[in-house]
């Protein structure tokens, strides 16, 4: 069973080292890339007020948080929920720095010690879309994820949106699987398909296809003034260099 947790936090400001703290944690669970509905959500009393700029982002008032639990009070339950899972976060360095600070203050090991792995969807998006905006909103727009309800940042809503974004970002990386219904509560036993067992038929190009291919290469070579890589590689000098 592949268990992944999509996680997001809201905070009083931008720096855990400068005294800012987590005010909200939102998590959604994926099992075999499917949402289970087994979500985890906390509002937390940070013991300090949020910065004005942070309030404009999340809209969670200081008064609302006054009677909420401190992180240390929910730490055990939270760690039980995430333990052993792959954690998926957008801009993971930010959220993990805050989680590490909260765990440190609670006398507990850092976040990575409790989970299987941490995956940063911001880093993934930068590789897939270099030079483009890769905020959560930008990725929702690019990947067709409906974020019309996101007027303010909220940890649980953002985690739900990020789950859809992650599924879309990794759709082309899904392994080829054969699944069988186990008949036990609708769960699936999933086995990886061994591609080495496939025997693929090789279809050689026809004479007409080879001639058409050669004609296209000739046109490209002519347009480049004879500087195409394959022409250079065919010269005796280049062949001698390649041969050693």
Q: Which residues face 3 on adjacent strands?
A: 31
For 236, other C-beta atoms within 10 Å of its C-beta total: 7
For 180, other C-beta atoms within 10 Å of its C-beta total: 9
- The C-alpha angle with vertex 26 and arms to 167 and 158, in degrees rounded to 5, equals 50
Q: What are phi and psi of 181, to 5 degrees?
A: -70, 120
Displacement of CA 224 from its chain's centroid (Å)? 41
CA-based Rg of the chain, rounded to a whole angstrom?
A: 26
Q: Which of 41, 51, 153, 199 is catalytic?
A: 153
Between strands 3-11 and 86-89, the pairing is parallel
Catalytic residue check, 114: no
Catalytic residues: 153
């Amino acid at each position: 069973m592949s268990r992944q947790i999509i996680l997001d936090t809201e905070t009083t400001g931008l720096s855990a080292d400068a005294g800012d703290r987590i005010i909200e944690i939102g998590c959604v669970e994926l099992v075999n890339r499917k949402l289970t509905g087994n979500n985890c959500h906390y509002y937390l009393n940070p013991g300090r007020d949020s910065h004005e700029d942070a309030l404009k982002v999340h809209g969670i008032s200081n008064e609302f948080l006054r009677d909420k639990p401190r992180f240390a009070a929910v730490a055990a339950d939270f760690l039980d929920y995430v333990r052993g899972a792959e954690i998926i976060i957008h801009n993971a360095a930010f959220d993990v720095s805050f989680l590490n600070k909260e765990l440190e203050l609670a006398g507990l090991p850092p976040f990575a010690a409790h989970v299987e792995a941490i995956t940063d969807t911001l880093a993934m998006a930068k590789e897939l879309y270099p030079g483009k905006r890769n905020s959560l909103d930008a990725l929702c727009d690019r990947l067709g994820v409906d974020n019309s309800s996101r007027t303010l940042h909220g940890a649980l809503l953002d985690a739900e949106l990020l789950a859809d974004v992650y599924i879309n970002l990794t759709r082309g990386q899904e392994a080829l699987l054969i699944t069988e219904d186990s008949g036990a509560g609708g769960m699936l036993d999933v086995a990886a398909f061994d591609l080495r067992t496939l025997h693929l038929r090789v279809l050689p190009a026809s004479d007409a296809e080879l001639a058409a291919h050669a004609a296209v290469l000739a046109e490209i070579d002519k347009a480049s003034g004879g500087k195409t890589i394959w022409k250079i590689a065919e010269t005796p000098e280049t062949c001698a260099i390649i041969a050693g």
